[in-house]
Amino acid sequence: MAPDDPTRCFGGGDPLYAQYHDEEWGRPVHGDRVLFERLALEGFQSGLSWITVLRKREAFRTAFAGFDPAVVAGFDEHDVERLMADAGIVRNRAKILATVKNAHALLRLQAAGESLDALIWSYAPEPRPRPLGWDEVPATTAESVALSRDLKRRGFTFVGPTTVYAAMQACGLVDDHVAGCWLARA
């Protein structure tokens, strides 16, 4: 629970963003379906502000059937057109198609007896010193480059090293709450 007057790395000034910072970002996330969602949303965020995607997250969940990979893998051109007409989400054909393709890749991974959870968490780096400020937070790391490469090899798209590192931060594989943030002190 956040203190009465928290100092945050980010998210001040917007209650939704502050709640995301305080309750989600940097906390460990497990499970194929939720990690599939997080990778998809980080892909949709590419080139945009995270708050834009965060404000549309519930609409994304509705549009993409709760990010159920079996359902999303069944999306056809009619579904893509439906999504392109949905003002509640980011309407980018390449990102929509990538999400459908990634659902197929996830199902192939599971059919091979593997999990997205185990794959992603196998790239969790050793803890490093807490960043003093955002200028010390990398955009990519050796681990995000390697995970990106592995995901692409397995058929995932829109998972470049920067997008993957953002997902690693969001899903708690790394803790980039900067010094001075109330969560860095917690």
Point out the catalytic residue in the list 42, 121, 123, 143: 42
Q: What is the DSSP letter of 87?
A: T
123 carries an active-site annotation: no
Architecture of domain 28-185: Orthogonal Bundle (1.10)
Q: Along the 186 residues of the chain, how does pLDDT read in single tens digits?
A: 666 667 999 988 899 999 999 999 999 999 999 999 999 999 999 999 999 999 999 999 999 999 999 999 999 999 999 999 999 999 999 999 999 999 999 999 999 999 999 999 999 999 988 999 999 999 999 999 999 999 999 999 999 999 999 999 999 999 999 999 999 876
Q: Contact 90/56 with Cβ under 8 angstroms? A: yes
42 carries an active-site annotation: yes
pTM: 0.94
Residue 78 pLDDT: 98
Q: Contact 14/158 with Cβ under 8 angstroms? A: no
Point out the catalytic residue in the list 17, 25, 37, 50: 50
126 carries an active-site annotation: no
Query: Can you tell me the distance from the alpha carbon of 178 to that of 176, in angstroms, rounded to the nearest whole number?
Result: 6
Residue 17 pLDDT: 94
Residue type, 136: E
Q: What is the dihedral of CA 151, 157, 161, 167, to 10 degrees?
A: -80
Residue 61 pLDDT: 98
Query: Can you tell me the distance from the alpha carbon of 105 to that of 159, in angstroms, rounded to the nearest whole number?
Result: 12
